[in-house]
Structure 1
Amino acid sequence: MSGLPSGGVVPELFHGLFDDAAVFPPGNLPVAEAVPAHRVHRAAWYAEAVGPLLCGAGRLGELAAAVDAAAGTSAGVGGSALRIGLVLPGGSAELAQALAAAAPFELAGVELATRDAAEAVAELDRLLPPDVPAAVELPRELLHGDDLDAVLDVLVDSPYRAKFRTGGLVAEAFPDEAELAAFLAGCAQRGLPYKCTAGLHNAVRHTDPETGFEHHGFLNVLLAAQETDPAAAAEVLAERDGEALAKAVRALTDRQVTVIRNSFTAFGTCSIAEPLGDLAVLGLLSSPTPPHQEDR
């Protein structure tokens, strides 16, 4: 990136990268706490890095009540419409009712889980307002070999992104480098944008010392997003040296940043603080320098 911006400026590489999944596992923050916390993120110096608050279709009533409760308080921060990402684990059968329930909010996007990409695309075409983006997630067991190619081909002919699950609450929920690399390279070959979710709240690939789970790093994924060769993508995903990844990030050209972010658009994280903290440790992001106070 030919150097990094000064303190308090969020580099383009990280703009809108961190969707706020605070209410989802393993964070499980109560909705009544997640709303004011998200408002704080949206008012902070790092707001450009923060995407919408993600909410499942079944919790929209709870979310509306939390917004009403916060209105007029300091936690409400101005009372502007809450920008949300609507998550539909039940697939397109939930879509019409969820869109109606989401009317009080600013709808930043829809994430729809399905086992049939073509059916999901058809329902999104039929029901989704044209100005609302969407991402389609299929189970990982349906994203191998020819099946992966078939799904990506369906989505590349649509206006929708792909969505890939990169973690969860059990070891089996975490794809290895080869599996994730096949997805990333397949999307890169087609110019198909995607988002990821789960397990990516740290910058660098690592083994969790408590669970033993193998976590991908979001910097690894960002750098691998420009690779059209699965083997090259897998090599980047396997890197565990944070300083090496940070050096590679600093060397990115503006064009590479554009290519990367046109591909890897965002990921859901139950913590906004953790990814920001990792970037700070690696020297890729810094808070504003406090103003000098006059002697009293």
Structure 2
Amino acid sequence: MTTEPFWTGLVDDAAIFPPGDAELATAAEAYAARTGDAATLTGSFVVRDTDLPALPAGFAGPLTVVVTGGAGQLAGPAALCARRGLPLAGLDVALRDLDDLPGNARRVVAAVDAARAEGVLDEDVAVHVELPQSEATYAWLAAADEVAAAELRLKLRTGGLEAFQHPPAPLLATWIDAALDRETPFRCTAGLHRALRHAGEDGAERHGFLNLLAATRRAFEGAGADEVVATLEDRDLRPDPAELAAGRRWFTSFGSCSVEEPMADIRALGVG
């Protein structure tokens, strides 16, 4: 019996997003042409809702669509994908009303429910709600409660173009804990090109996707906050592939503008 590697579908191809900024047609062609281990590593192709009209006809890969507006604009991309025969696997929507995060989350939930009731959005399309890069305040946690109660998923931003956009390990650990407390799967975006914790060219600490997988599994198994933080910060981590595979139950994937870098690290560490 063949067992799939833990990294199957781990990386969502976000080549058109910064800092990659690839041209849409070129990125879509590269996605479709990918073979071997790189194809196994790749999950969905990530686009903005505004990119959908320009997506090449006949694109067959699963799509994750980032909604650039609010809850009221959630149904439109789903309907467009249906009309064009595009395989929609997921929708990402960010909470932008920082003064009322729980209310914003409820509006997203209502929009999802309406789109599904109207037959515009299939039940099996994963909807990820991005919470802001902030402390897990009462409002932040209340918004996470709304997402979990509706059986939607969370999206965590683990990096960005600026040094300050890379959350410190203790903060990321609280986000992971919040997701696990609510038994809510999550995907991540930005800053996870490399397998292990490292410093970028600007000196800012970057998270490693293997650190995050191992930390998620250890937190789920009851590890304390200090151990989870230490796992996130471990530059010499050598986790067992079985532990990493178990972490995928909750940390499902991450968006990256590069597939080659994550694949190279997996091979170099011999965990594939």
Identical counterparts, % of pairs? 37
TM-score for both structures, normalised by structure 2: 0.87
AA at the equivalent of 1:179: L
Partner of 1:91: 70
Indicate yes or no: 2:129 matched with 1:136.
yes
Q: Does 1:224 align with 2:219?
A: no
The alpha-carbon distance between structure 1 residues 36 and 216, as it changes in their structure 2 partners (threshold 3 A), is same
Instruction: Note the C-alpha offset of 1:133.
Output: 1.2
Counterpart-to-counterpart distance in 1, 2:210 and 2:255: 14
In the alignment, does 2:263 pair up with 1:263?
no
- Cα distance, 1:189 vs structure 2: 2.2
> Structure 1 CA distance, aligned partners of 2:70 and 2:42?
26
Instruction: After TM superposition, give the deviation of residue 119 of structure 1 in Å.
Output: 1.3
| Distance (whole Å) between structure 1 residues aligned to residue 139 and residue 227 of structure 2 | 22
Q: Structure 1's 282 and 45: CA in aligned 2 closer, same or farther, altered over 3 A?
A: closer
Contact kept? 2:12, 2:45, Cα under 8 Å: yes
- Give the equivalent residue in structure 2 for 1:100: 79
Amino acid at match of 2:234: E
2:59 and 2:159 map into 1 onto residues whose CA distance is 33
Cα deviation for residue 265 of structure 1 reads 0.6
Trace 1:1-296 onto structure 2 (pairs within 5 A).
11=5, 13-41=6-34, 43-63=35-55, 67-68=56-57, 81-103=60-82, 104=84, 105-115=86-96, 116-127=104-115, 128-141=121-134, 143-208=135-200, 210-226=201-217, 227-228=219-220, 229-241=224-236, 245-246=237-238, 248-250=239-241, 252=242, 257-258=245-246, 260-285=247-272
Corresponding residue pairs, total: 254
Aligned residue identity for 1:270: C
Is the Cα contact below 8 Å between 1:10 and 1:49 reproduced in 2?
Answer: no
Q: What amino acid sits opposite 1:269 in the alignment?
A: S
Q: 1:186 deviation in Å?
A: 1.6
C-alpha RMSD of matched pairs (Å):
2.0
Name the structure, 1 or 2, with higher relative contact order (CA <8 Å, separation 6+): 1
Give the 3-state SS of the residue equivalent to 1:169 in structure 2.
coil
Cα distance between partner residues in 2 of 1:219 and 1:15: 13
**Cα distance 1:58–1:171, how it changes in 2: closer, same or farther (>3 A)?**
same
Contact 1:185 1:233 in 2 (8 A): no
Q: Structure 2: how far apart are the matches of 1:80 and 1:161?
A: 26
Q: Report the CA distance shift for 1:173/1:184 in structure 2 as closer, same or farther (over 3 A).
A: same
What secondary structure, in the 3-state scheme, does the structure 1 residue paired with 2:47 have?
Answer: strand
Counterpart Cα distance in 2 of 1:28 and 1:188: 33
The structure that has the greater radius of gyration is: 1
Tell me by how many angstroms 1:80 deviates: 6.2
Amino acid at match of 1:213: A
Letter in 2 for 1:231: D
Deviation at 1:126, TM superposition (A): 1.3
Which 5+ residue runs of structure 2 have no aligned equivalent? 97-103, 116-120
Contact 1:148 1:183 in 2 (8 A): no
Secondary structure, aligned partner of 2:203:
coil
